[in-house]
Amino acid sequence: MPSNHVAGTASEPTQPRSLGRTIRAYFILTKPRVMELLLVTTVPVMILAAGAFPNPLLILATVLGGAMSAGSAASFNMYLDRDMDAHMERTENRPIVTGEISPRNALIFSWVLAVVSTIWLWFTTNWLTTLLSVSAIFFYVVIYTMILKRRTEQNIIWGGIAGCFPVLIGWTAVTESITWPPVILFVLVFLWTPAHYWPLSMKYKTDYAAADVPMLGVTRGASAVGLQVIIYAWATVVCSLLLIPVAGMGIVYTAAAVAFGGWFIVESHVLYSRAVRGLEPSPMRVFHSSITYLTLLFVAIAIDPLLPF
C-alpha cells in the first residue's frame, strides 16, 4: 500500500500558460464543488443562530474565511494525494498531476490559504470560530488524508468530521458559543457523509483499487455497501428530526425534514434492493440525491427562522 506522500508524480509544464489558465488551475486545487457544499451549510446556520438575517458583513467575512479554509484543506489534499491521483481516471486531470501546477507551488498555495484564512477569521469573527476553522483543516489534512484514507475502509467516517465543522463555524461566528442545535447539525452532517460518499466509492471502485485505497466500495460488495448506506441514511433523517424540538423549528423545516428525508431513505433502499438482486445499483443516483437532500434541508433551516409562524 503506498504511503509516501512526498514522492512527486507530476511533470513540469513544457510551455508557458496563460494567466487565466493558471488562475483556473489554482481554483481547481480548492475543490470548488466541495467548497460550495460546505458553505451551503454555513449561512443557514448563521440565520438559525441569529433568529433573523445576521449582519451581511459578518456573513461575508465568515463565508470568505470559510472558503479559504476549505480551499486550503482541499489543496493540501491534492498535494498529498498526487501520487494516488495519477492512477485514478477520476482525478488524473487534476492540475498537479498534469503539471499545470508544481507540487512545490501547490504546497505554498495551501499554506498561504491556511494562514490567511486563520488571520482573517481571527480579526473578523472571534477566537472560537478561528479555532474551529484550524481544526477542520487539521482533520481533513492530517486525520483523513495522511492517516486514515490509505489505511482503513472506515476512512470517510472519521475523516468526514472535517466537513461537519462549517455548521459550528457558522453558529459560533454569530453567538461565540456552542449549544445543542449546532451539535445536532454537526452529528447530522457526520452521519450524512458516509451515505453520501460510499455510493461514489461504488462507482469508482476500480479507480480506488488501482490506487490501493481501501474505500468501502472496494473492500465490500455492492449489497454490503448498500446496507451501510441505508443505515446511515436512516440515522441522518432521525437526527434531522431532533432539531425540531431542540431548536424550536417550525412547519417549513419539519415538512422539509420529513419529505426530503423520506426521499433520501427511499433512494438508499432502491440502491440496496438493486444490489441484492444483482442489478446495476446506479450509485450516482444516491450520490446526487444526497447532495440535493442536504441542500434543501439547509435551505429550510435558513427559511424557517425568518417566517412569523
Residue 237 has pLDDT above 80, yes or no: yes
CATH class of 179-309: mainly alpha
Q: Where are the alpha helices (DSSP H) in 90-178?
A: 95-98, 103-124, 127-138, 155-159, 165-175
- The CA distance from 215 to 155, in Å, is 7
Angle between helices 43-50 and 56-80 (to 10 degrees): 140
List pLDDT tens digits, range 240-296: 999 999 999 999 999 999 999 999 999 999 999 999 988 888 899 999 999 999 999
Which tens digits make up the pLDDT trace of 77-96?
999 999 999 988 888 899 99
pLDDT at 37: 80
The rounded percent of the chain whose pLDDT value lies above 70 is 94
Domain 20-171 CATH assignment equals 3.40.50.410? no
Cβ–Cβ < 8 Å for 110, 77: no
Q: How confident is the model at residue 2 (pLDDT cuts 50, 70, 90)?
A: very low
What is the pLDDT, as a whole number, of residue 1?
40
Q: According to the model, what pLDDT value does residue 16 have?
A: 60
Q: Are 151 and 214 in contact (CB under 8 A)?
A: yes
pLDDT of 309 over the 70 cut: yes
pLDDT at 15: 53
DSSP string covering 259-287: HHHHHHHHHHHHHHHHHHTTS---HHHHH
Instruction: Round to whole Å and give the CA distance between 181 and 293.
Output: 19
Question: Residue 84 to residues 139, 151, 249: CA-CA distances in angstroms?
Answer: 20, 13, 44
Least confident of 151-160, 191-200, 225-234: 151-160
Report the candidate in 74, 194, 222 with the shortest Cα–Cα distance to residue 145.
Answer: 74
Residues 95/82, Cβ–Cβ less than 8 Å = no
Residue 301 in grid coordinates: 433551516
Closest CA to 167 of 145, 141, 193: 193
R_g (Cα) of the chain, nearest Å: 20
Average pLDDT rounded to a whole number, residues 116-124: 98
Domain spans of the chain?
A: 20-171, 179-309
What is the predicted pLDDT for the residue at 73?
95
Question: What pLDDT score was predicted for residue 18?
Answer: 83
5-42, pLDDT tens digit by residue? Answer: 444 444 444 456 688 899 999 999 999 988 788 888 99
| Mean of pLDDT over the chain | 91
Write the DSSP string, 59-80. HHHHHHHHHHHHHHHHHHHHHH
Give the model's pLDDT for residue 156.
86
